[in-house]
Amino acid sequence: MREILEKLVNNEITLETAENLLKSKNILEVDEIAKFDGERQSRTGFPEAVFALGKDYEDLLLIIKKYFESENPQNLIITKLSDETYSNLLNDLDYLKNEGFIFDYNKKANILIIRVNENKSEPIAKIGILTAGTSDINIAEEARVIVEEGGCEAICSYDIGVAGIHRLFPQIAYMVKEGVKLFIVCAGMEGALPSVVAGLVDVPVIAVPTSVGYGVGEGGRVALDSMLQSCAPGIAVVNIDNGFGAGVFALTIVRLCGEAF
């Protein structure tokens, strides 16, 4: 970037050329199978992530290798990564561990974070994460990993759905007392829990429908429709099983509001 700016100042290139050169350096192309957005964190507040599901293993491996060969790589997040694929990556990327990179894999969330370092800072906010049932925990864990990676503290309570609504109230009370700034609520089946939570709290609620269900509820579409149709105000709904998206959205709200939040 410095070299480009020096050429611009010295009138060696035009403003348009400088702009194009800067844009081009933001993208890392990997043998025409992928393009890394190197400036996503500075632009959006959250770093590049790789969606593993559906990718050929050799392509996924090549993407990761090329990323860490690039100049000044940051922590890399790989989502929807199966246990088997993680084990294979661990073997094929063993040289990265020897170079000091840290492999942090959450089995429930199916997320791998390859860390450049373990630089931790004080949490910028507290976010509550709830699930209706035990079967929703893997999606909630995906959100938790993202929330914590983004610098927030996650306070979690699982299996407190409407089938036993008495379980919910003490958990909500505790989180409100702890100063939770917003809630991520994961639910399958009829997807009722986010509506109940939104009717009890004065902070935003991000609803995550999960694919847990059977019969008409199979695949999570009933939960999605229920959350979209909720009569409780203050709910934002992400797509089915999108714990990652819920986590990033929560971080965006927290960062945008800052101290006023």
Q: What is the mean pLDDT of residues 101-125?
A: 85
DSSP letters, the chain, are -HHHHHHHHTTSS-HHHHHHHHHHTTEEEETTTEEEETTHHHHHSS--EEE-TT--HHHHHHHHHHHHHSSS---EEEES--HHHHHHHHHHTHHHHHTT-EEEEETTTTEEEEES-------S-EEEEEESSGGGHHHHHHHHHHHHHTT-EEEEE-S--GGGGGGHHHHHHHHHHTT--EEEEEE-TT--HHHHHHTT-SS-EEEEE-S---GGGGGGHHHHHHHHT--SSSEEE--TT-HHHHHHHHHHHHHHHGGG-
| Count: domains in the chain | 2
Question: Over the stretch 21-55, which tens digit does the pLDDT of each residue have?
Answer: 666 555 555 556 556 655 555 556 666 788 999 89
Which of 88, 81, 171, 180 minimizes the C-alpha distance to 128? 180
In 3D space, the residue among 60, 62, 65, 40 whose CA is nearest the CA of residue 50 turns out to be 60
Say whether both 141 and 192 belong to one domain: yes
Residue 227 lies in a domain: yes
We report the CATH number of the domain holding residue 232 as: 3.40.50.1970
The domain boundary residue, chosen from 115, 142, 164:
115
Q: What is the pLDDT of residue 127?
A: 96
Kindly state the average pLDDT of the residues 121-141: 92
Same domain, 215 and 98: no
Q: For residue 159, name the pLDDT band (cuts at 50, 70, 90).
A: very high
Q: Which of 87, 115, 143 is the last residue of a domain?
A: 115
Among candidate residues 38, 36, 33, the one with its CA nearest the CA of residue 60: 33
Q: Which of 62-71, 201-210, 238-247 shows the lowest mean pLDDT across its residues?
A: 62-71
Structural domain ending residue among the three candidates 115, 148, 179? 115
Residue 151 is part of which domain span?
126-260
Sign, CA torsion 90/93/97/98: positive
52 domain residue, yes or no: yes
Same domain, 159 and 56: no
For residues 76 and 108, state if they share a domain: yes
Q: What is the pTM of this model?
A: 0.80
* Domain at 108, CATH number: 3.30.110
